[in-house]
Structure 1
C-alpha cells in the first residue's frame, strides 16, 4: 500500500470538507465520511465511536464492519483498544491487534479478521468527543504520515461535531449545545439564580478547518503571530520594574510567543492542508497532551501560558475576541474554567450567579462570591465546553447543581423554589429590627461577615448588629502590588463611616494557603493549609503588618478600633502581634496623630492548640472569635477543599460540640467575649445549638441573619440545652437527630 504523502493528506482533507458540505442528516454524513476515509487510506475498515455519556463510547458509523452493530456496540472508557485510546487520549498503532493488551473481541462487528489497528482520539483542546479507527487485514504498522493524516481528520471531525454537523439518532449523536443537561459540582456560595450564560472566555469556534491556499494561510498566521508578539512585548514593558517574579513569568510567556519551533510546526500543519486556525488548535492539543503528563511541575504550569497564548492567537485570527461587540445579557450567569479575584470583582454585583469548571470552596473566587453574596457552584466539570453565550441556565448554589438549557418541568420547579425563598425573605424582613431573643429571654448578637465596601449596605438591611469579620486581604488580592498605607487608611475609614458607629472587627491580613498574593512568591509547601499563612506571614513580614496596623489606627481617627489576628496557634504569637499593635499606637501618638477612642485586640481561634493555651491568653485577649471553617477541618483532619471528606463530618458531632463547649467555658471563666464566625453560624439549626451551649455572638453572611433570627426567636434554649446534654450522654455520634426530632415534636 502506498504511503499517504503530504499532498495526499491535503487531498483527503479537501475531500472531507466537500463531503461535509453536502446536504444530509447526521448519520448520512458520518457514513459518507467513514467510506471516504477507508477509500482514501486504502484500509478495509474505518469506524467512528462517539461518547454517549462521560463513560461510554458508542459505534456511530462504520465502513467494513457489520452495519447492524452501529448504535448497538458500546464500550466503557478503558475497555478494549478503542477504550484505551479514549482513556489515554493517545493513538494506538499496532500490526497485531489481537495480541495487544486489553484487546476486546466483539463478535457482533466481525472485526476479528483485521490485524492492523490505528485509533486516534477525536478531541478538541483536551475535551474528548470520541475515537476514530482504521483497520486492515494486512499485519503492519501504519506510517507516520498515515497517523498524521488520521489525526488531522479526527481534529476536523471534532470541530464539526461541536458545530452540530452529526446530529441524528442515538444518544451519541444528540445535538451538542442544544440539549438540556445538568452538572453536579460543589457548593461555593449558597443561593439560587436563573439567567443567561455569559462566558468569561468564549470558546473560539473554528468554522474553516480545511484550507485551499496554504501560502495565504501561512501569511495570515505570520501576521497574527506578529500581532501576538507585539502585545506580549507590550505587557512585558508595562510590568513593574521591581516585580522580579512577574517579569519572570512574562519572560517565559514571551519565550513561547517567540518560539520558532512553534511557528514552524504550525506552518507544516498548514502545508498538509489545515487552515491557520486549525493549525494553532492542533499544536495546542499536541502540547496539552504532552505537558499534562509531564513529571516536572514547572512544565505542567507552563500549560496555562501556552493555552492563553494559543487562545489569544485564535482570537486574532478569527476576530472572536472580547471586542467583537457581544453584549452581556441583563441577567448574566458567569461561566469560567477559573477566574481570579480581580477579574471577578470587575464584574461586581451585575452577576446573578457564577459557575466554575475548576475552583474550590476556599478559592479566591469563592471568597469574593461570598463577599458579593452571589450563588457559586465550583467543579462543574465540562460546562465551559457545553455552554454558549445566551443559553438559559439555572444555578442551585444550595445543592451545587447547574441546569443548562433546562426543560420546562425543571424551570417550573426551580421557579417555585425561588418563589418560596423570596417569600421567606419577606417574612424575615418583618423581624429585621427585632432582637434575636429566645423564648426564655437569652439575647444572641448576630453580626455579619464582610470584605468589600459593597457589603456595608447589607449591615442595615440584614438587621446585623455589627461586622464580626471584615476580611482585609481582598484589597491585597486584587492588586498587582502592595497597597499604599494611605489608600488602606482611607478605605478602612470609609468602612467605619458606612457602619454608622456599629462595631467592625478588622481581621488583619489572612494570606497563604489558598490565598496567594500575585506579587508575593508562593513557597513550595506540601500542605499550604498547615503552612506559612496568616499570622505566621505577618510576624515574619513585620513591615507589611506594621503598615496595615498604622492604616487601621489612622482610619479610626478618634473612633473605637477592633483588631483581630488570624490563625493564632499559640499564646506567644498573640502576644507578639499585640505588642506590634501597641508599639504602633505609641508611635502614632508621638507623631501627633489622633488615636482611637478605644482598642479591642482579639484572636481568631482556628487551631485546636489555641483552645488549650494558658489561662493568660484568655485573660489578655479582649475577645476571641472561633473561625469555624478552619477549626472544623483541623479538628476532624478533613480538608475542606476535598469533596470526598469535607461533608463526612458533622458540625453537630458530639466530640466537636463538646470541644466548642470547653472553649465557651474557658472564655466565660476569664470574662472574655466569645463569638463563632463561619458558614456554620449561618445555618439555623447549627446556630441554635451554638447558642444552647453558651455562645452569645454569631457572625455570618448577611442573607443568613434572617433565617437564624427567625429560629432563635421561636426557641427555648433551656429545652434545647437539655436535648443536647441528653444526646451527649447517650453515646450518639451527633446531636442532630435528637435536636431535629425535638423540633418536629415541638412544632
Structure 2
C-alpha cells in the first residue's frame, strides 16, 4: 500500500511540475491543475476555492461543476463544508455530503448529483489560503493514501499561490503582496510614522517544491539536519554556565533536532515527490496549524520551538540566512512576530515604527519602544506573512492601525494627519519655556518618563521640568546576566549629570508579571499581574534591592536623590523597603562614601488597597505617585492586556475620578506631594480632568508635554471640576461626552 501511495503522489506531483513550468496565464493554469487532479484521483469533480478577502472564499477553478459558477460562487468563512474546512483548518472526508453538519447546497454549481466530499485546507505555515475539494457521485470515504496525496498537492498549491502563480481574473486571484492591506492591532506606543518594511526575520522563499531525485533530496536533508544538530549542541555548550531556563529551551531544541519521528515524516514526504525544503515546510505548516489550536501554554511554547527550529533548517537548506543581502531602508519600519529588548536596542532610534504580531502593552519590546519614543502596534495579525521587505507602510500608533501598501487616498489622508501633528508640535515649541499655569492660576508641573540614557536629550527639548519616572528595569532586561553595582552606579550618575540639576525620580526594579529577567528562573503563575512582582520580589529577594540602592546612593555622590518603590499594596511593604534604604545609607556611611544631600523615598500607588492605608502611611512617605496603568486595571477588574475588556472602562468614568479625588484629599491632609504617572497623564483631556481633581504634578512621554500644557493653559480648572461634579450629580457614567461638548462650546 505504501508503494501505491508513493507512486500515486509522485505521479501527481510530476504532472503538477509540468503545469508549474508552463508559462500559461493564472486562470488557465488553475483549470489545468483541477483537471489533472480529478484525472489522477479518479474523481468526477475537483475544485479550488481561494480567499478573496479575510472572510470570503471564491470558487476560482473547477473540473466537473458548472463553468459559469467560477468567480461567481462565494461563501463566508465557516459557511458550508468548504467554509468549515477553511475556518477550522481541518479535513472533511464524508461519503454523504448532504447529510454532513453544516452542508450548504449551491444550486449554481450543479453539485447536487455528487455524494462524496473530501475538502482540505490549502495552507502555508499555518495561514489558510483556500480549500481544495474533490467530489464523486459514488458514496465513498476517501482512503488515507488519497488524503495524503491531496495534502501534499494542497501544500504545493499554497506555495504556488504565495509565489503568484495564479494571478488573473477574479478578486481571489489578485497578486499577493501587491494589494493594499489594512491591519488592526493594539496600541503599544502612540505616534504616527511612514516608512518601508524591514523584516526582522525575512521569510524563506521555497521555489523548488517538487523533486524527481529523492535520493539526492534525502542526502541534502540529512546533511542540513546534521549541521542543525551541531549548531544546537554548540549553543548548549555556550550556555552551560548560564540561566537554567535557557538551558531547558535549548535542551528542547536538541530533543526536536534529534526527533526520529520528525525526521521520518520529512523523509516520507521526500519519498513521495517533495523537495527537502518543501518537506520541512510541510511539517512546519502542520506545527503552525496545531499551534493555532493549542490552548495549553506549555504546548504552544514547544510548538514555537519546533517552528523556530524549522526556520533554522530552511535557512541552512536554502542558504537564505538572516543576512539576505538586502539593505535596510533609510526609513525602516520593523516587522516581527516578537522581539527581545536587546535586539530592539540594536536597531536604536533609526526605526520609524515597530509592528509586532504578538507582544503585550507591558512587554519588554513595548517598554523599549516607549523609551525610544517609537510608535508601536502589537497584535497585528498576519503582518509577517503579508509584508515584504521594502513595502510602503504607514503606522498609526494612536489607533493601533497599520496601512500596508496603502492606496493614494489613504496615503494622502495619513500624511495630512502627520502634517497637522507636526504643525501642532511647532506651536507647542513656543510655550516650551513657559510655566504651565491654567486660566484660573493653578500651577501644574509636567515631568517626563524615561528609561534609557537616550531619553535624556528630550528633557530640554520637550520642556519637561524633570524626570518623574526613570524606569531602572531596562538595564536589567537587556542583559544576559545581572549587571554589576559599579555599572549601575555609573549609569545612574550619568542620568543625574544629564538632568543638569532637574529632579529625577528613580523607580526601583519593577520586574515580574510580563517583565521577566532572562537570567532569573521564570515562575509560572496563574495570574502574573496579581502575582510575585515589583516590591514583592524585592522584599523576598533583598540582595538585588540592596545592590541597586547602594548604586543609587553612590551615583548621587552628595546630590539630591529621589527613590520610588513600585507596586506597594500596604503600609508594611513601604516600611520594610524604607528600612532597606536606611540600612544602605548606614552601610555607605561606614564605608566613607558621600551620602545624598537630600533623600526622598516615595511609593507608587497602583492598587486600591494603598489608597485606604492608615493615615500614618501618608504622613510618613515623602511622596506618592499614582501608577495609572495598573491602578485603572485593578479598579475596574479589567486586564489591560485583554482586548475584550480593556476598552470598556474609561479613565473619565465618574467613579474613577471620584477615587482619584479621594487620594488627592488624603495626600492634602497629610501634606504629601502627589503625582500621576501613566499613559493617561499624556492625553490632554484626561490630564485636564486629573488636574481638575487636584493633581498638580503629571509625568508622561516627552512628546505629550506640549499638547497637555497647551490645553491646561487655555482652561479654567474650576469650570472643568464643575463639569465633573455636574456629571456625577446627573448619574452619568463618564464625564467625557459632557466635557467634550463644553470644551467645544468654550472653543478650547
User: Smaller-chain TM-score range?
Assistant: over 0.9
Contact 1:60 1:172 in 2 (8 A): yes
Measure how far apart 1:146 and its partner are. 1.2
Measure how far apart 1:288 and its partner are. 3.1
Contact 2:393 2:405 in 1 (8 A): yes
- Residues in 1 aligned to 2:594 and 2:221: alpha-carbon distance in whole angstroms: 63
1:421/1:242 Cα in 2 relative to 1: closer, same or farther (>3 Å)?
closer
1:612/1:296 Cα in 2 relative to 1: closer, same or farther (>3 Å)?
closer
Contact 2:242 2:519 in 1 (8 A): no
Measure how far apart 1:547 and its partner are. 1.3
Which residue does the alignment assign to 2:517? 517
| 1:173-212 paired onto structure 2 within 5 Å | 173-212=173-212
Which residue does the alignment assign to 1:319? 319
- Residues in 1 aligned to 2:648 and 2:746: alpha-carbon distance in whole angstroms: 29
Measure how far apart 1:135 and its partner are. 1.4
SS in structure 1 opposite 2:567?
coil
> Is 1:75 aligned to 2:75, yes or no?
yes
1:98/1:740 Cα in 2 relative to 1: closer, same or farther (>3 Å)?
closer
Measure how far apart 1:62 and its partner are. 0.5
SS in structure 2 opposite 1:395?
strand
| 1:374-389 paired onto structure 2 within 5 Å | 374-389=374-389
| 1:176-575 paired onto structure 2 within 5 Å | 176-290=176-290, 292-294=292-294, 296-575=296-575
| 1:661-680 paired onto structure 2 within 5 Å | 661-680=661-680
| 1:578-727 paired onto structure 2 within 5 Å | 578-727=578-727
- Residues in 1 aligned to 2:400 and 2:2: alpha-carbon distance in whole angstroms: 55
Q: Deviations over 1:206-263 (max 9, x none)?
A: 1110112111111211121122111111111111515222212111111111223222
1:601/1:340 Cα in 2 relative to 1: closer, same or farther (>3 Å)?
same
Which residue does the alignment assign to 2:90? 90
Measure how far apart 1:639 and its partner are. 1.1
1:294/1:374 Cα in 2 relative to 1: closer, same or farther (>3 Å)?
closer
Q: Deviations over 1:271-291 (max 9, x none)?
A: 110011000001112233345
- Residues in 1 aligned to 2:688 and 2:50: alpha-carbon distance in whole angstroms: 52
- Residues in 2 aligned to 1:55 and 1:408: alpha-carbon distance in whole angstroms: 25
- Residues in 1 aligned to 2:72 and 2:4: alpha-carbon distance in whole angstroms: 32
Which residue does the alignment assign to 1:29? 29
> Is 1:733 aligned to 2:705, yes or no?
no
> Is 1:150 aligned to 2:150, yes or no?
yes
- Residues in 1 aligned to 2:566 and 2:475: alpha-carbon distance in whole angstroms: 16
1:287/1:379 Cα in 2 relative to 1: closer, same or farther (>3 Å)?
closer
SS in structure 2 opposite 1:40?
helix
- Residues in 2 aligned to 1:636 and 1:264: alpha-carbon distance in whole angstroms: 52
Measure how far apart 1:717 and its partner are. 2.1
Contact 2:126 2:292 in 1 (8 A): no
SS in structure 1 opposite 2:389?
coil
Bigger mean CA deviation after superposition, 144-153 or 612-621: 144-153
Measure how far apart 1:428 and its partner are. 0.7
TM-score (norm: length of structure 2): 0.98
Measure how far apart 1:295 and its partner are. 6.2
Contact 2:243 2:520 in 1 (8 A): no
Contact 1:292 1:303 in 2 (8 A): no
Q: Deviations over 1:308-354 (max 9, x none)?
A: 11001111111221123211100000111111222111111110001
Measure how far apart 1:136 and its partner are. 1.6
Measure how far apart 1:143 and its partner are. 2.0
SS in structure 2 opposite 1:403?
strand
- Residues in 2 aligned to 1:291 and 1:50: alpha-carbon distance in whole angstroms: 23
SS in structure 2 opposite 1:229?
helix
Contact 2:505 2:562 in 1 (8 A): yes
> Is 1:105 aligned to 2:105, yes or no?
yes
Which residue does the alignment assign to 2:128? 128
SS in structure 2 opposite 1:134?
strand
Q: Deviations over 1:38-84 (max 9, x none)?
A: 11111111010111122221111110111121112222222222222
Q: In angstroms, what is the RMSD of aligned CA positions?
A: 1.6
Bigger mean CA deviation after superposition, 552-561 or 570-579: 552-561
Measure how far apart 1:294 and its partner are. 5.0
- Residues in 2 aligned to 1:290 and 1:401: alpha-carbon distance in whole angstroms: 28
Q: Deviations over 1:494-546 (max 9, x none)?
A: 11111111111111111111111122222222211111111111111111111
Measure how far apart 1:673 and its partner are. 0.4
Unaligned runs of 5+ in 1: none
Contact 1:3 1:143 in 2 (8 A): no
Unaligned runs of 5+ in 2: none
Bigger mean CA deviation after superposition, 251-260 or 563-572: 251-260
- Residues in 2 aligned to 1:116 and 1:650: alpha-carbon distance in whole angstroms: 54
Q: Deviations over 1:634-662 (max 9, x none)?
A: 11111111122212111111111111011
- Residues in 1 aligned to 2:407 and 2:340: alpha-carbon distance in whole angstroms: 32
Contact 2:188 2:360 in 1 (8 A): yes
SS in structure 2 opposite 1:335?
strand
1:644/1:2 Cα in 2 relative to 1: closer, same or farther (>3 Å)?
closer
SS in structure 2 opposite 1:443?
coil
Q: Deviations over 1:690-730 (max 9, x none)?
A: 11221110000000001111111212222222333333323
- Residues in 1 aligned to 2:127 and 2:294: alpha-carbon distance in whole angstroms: 19
SS in structure 1 opposite 2:345?
helix
- Residues in 1 aligned to 2:180 and 2:480: alpha-carbon distance in whole angstroms: 41
1:718/1:287 Cα in 2 relative to 1: closer, same or farther (>3 Å)?
closer
- Residues in 2 aligned to 1:733 and 1:260: alpha-carbon distance in whole angstroms: 61
Which residue does the alignment assign to 1:45? 45
SS in structure 1 opposite 2:68?
helix
Measure how far apart 1:7 and its partner are. 2.2
Contact 2:243 2:518 in 1 (8 A): no
Measure how far apart 1:481 and its partner are. 1.9
